[in-house]
A and B are shown apart, each in its own frame.
Chain A
């Protein structure tokens, strides 16, 4: 009996020892991963940390997850910074989220925040490159929204209104420019409308959005007139006139909002003169012609 008791005791100690050794082994792997990260050997560090975060002993430790995020970040920096979709970046973000959910101490919380800010800044720069260099609004807005999603994780409660206005105005200006240069580019026109209307949702009186939208409608009307064939019959002329009037009145709605707030706004006065001329409204055309002269705006 006592023999069996000794065997069971020995076995229990052995199992306990194995568990402790295994725990040490996992902590060793975490240390190893951290050392590899410090020595800029991120690829080996990645292998080590990936085993750490699946082990029951260490997967509940925020240190493992933050370390993983930083290791993946080193690899991400090398190749994925300009990619809109990057599994490496996704792993960094999910690791940071996991670490934050495990209530990290102040140092780790600060490090998590720093890395999230860095990732969101990367998305912001990407949105800029995609918009201005690649003229790819569809991808740019995805990057911009991801910038906001990650930024708010780092800085909860951030109000993005002014940033949204600047972003959507930039996109709206760019695409209305494209449309004004090539009036057959209706997708550019649509993007310009969508983005400028988003600005007006946030700030209905925004002068740039109102003026750019108004001028876009006005120029669209001009293009209809330009496209009218000289041999068009009276019924065709009538249809084109109807459409031009509708567009000119839409343009007026946007521009007049700016004029009512600032009756010396040069762009608004100039645009209203053009709109009333298009609408054959002689009285208002003359009124705004005078205002143009007062403000030294060259017309005709």
Chain B
């Protein structure tokens, strides 16, 4: 009986895989289907720039970049803890730990054909085009068409049906 007793005391280990980071990566890739970037941004790599610290997300995005393209463009992932204005990105994803930089980022990226995505309360009111929110445990997103237009992006209204619209 002792044998079973020893085996039965074994505990399973919860996986440390971060499903939220996976969802954010899949969402970010999906956004590329609903916006059109300027011609200048259609050459070279399609840059997704993450501002802030989230290693799991960066890892997911790098996997995404190795598997997918945006049109003919390869996806390139850039990351810095503080915002670096010299990085010319198609998407800037501002993480919650750097939310204070949102106003600076949106003002510096006006008409530059850059989709600004945030994950902070009221981020769309502060200039972000898209903002991740949690509704009943589910990751969803708010969308501001006005902010996207101000950012110099051509928009597709299909995304409005999928988003929580802010205007």
Contacts and interface: CB of A to CB of B under 8 A. Distances in A.
Interface residues of B, number: 35
B129 to A, nearest CB: 16
A127 B118 CA distance: 57
A170 B26 contact: no
Contact of A237 (B11, B16, B30): B30
Given A215-B14, A221-B19, A230-B64, A132 B7 contact: yes
Given A163-B1, A170-B8, A208-B9, A241 B162 contact: no
Contacts of A146: none
Interface stretch (B41-49, B76-84, B98-106, B131-139): B131-139
Given A177-B12, A219-B12, A244-B19, A234 B162 contact: yes
A232 B134 CA distance: 19
A223 B19 CA distance: 9
A234 B10 CA distance: 39
B138 A241 contact: yes
B51 interface: no
B37 interface: no
B86 interface: no
A180 B137 CA distance: 24
B62 to A, nearest CB: 11
B138 A278 contact: no
B30 A234 contact: yes
A98 to B, nearest CB: 30
A128 B6 CA distance: 12
Contact of A169 (B4, B13, B26, B67): B4
A212 B17 contact: no
Contact of B19 (A163, A167, A222): A222
A7 B162 CA distance: 114
Interface in A206-231: 208, 211-212, 215-216, 218-219, 221-226, 228-231
Given A166-B1, A234-B162, A237-B30, A226 B22 contact: yes
Contact of A226 (B5, B11, B17): B17
A139 B75 CA distance: 53
Nearest to B17: A222
B93 to A, nearest CB: 15
Given A173-B10, A215-B12, A280-B134, A233 B1 contact: no
A228 B22 contact: yes
A211 B19 CA distance: 20
Interface of B: 1, 3-5, 7-20, 22-23, 25-27, 29-30, 63-64, 67-68, 134, 136-139, 162
Sorted nearest first, the 10 A-B pairs with minimum C-beta distance are A169-B8, A225-B19, A170-B7, A215-B12, A280-B134, A170-B4, A222-B15, A166-B4, A173-B10, A170-B8
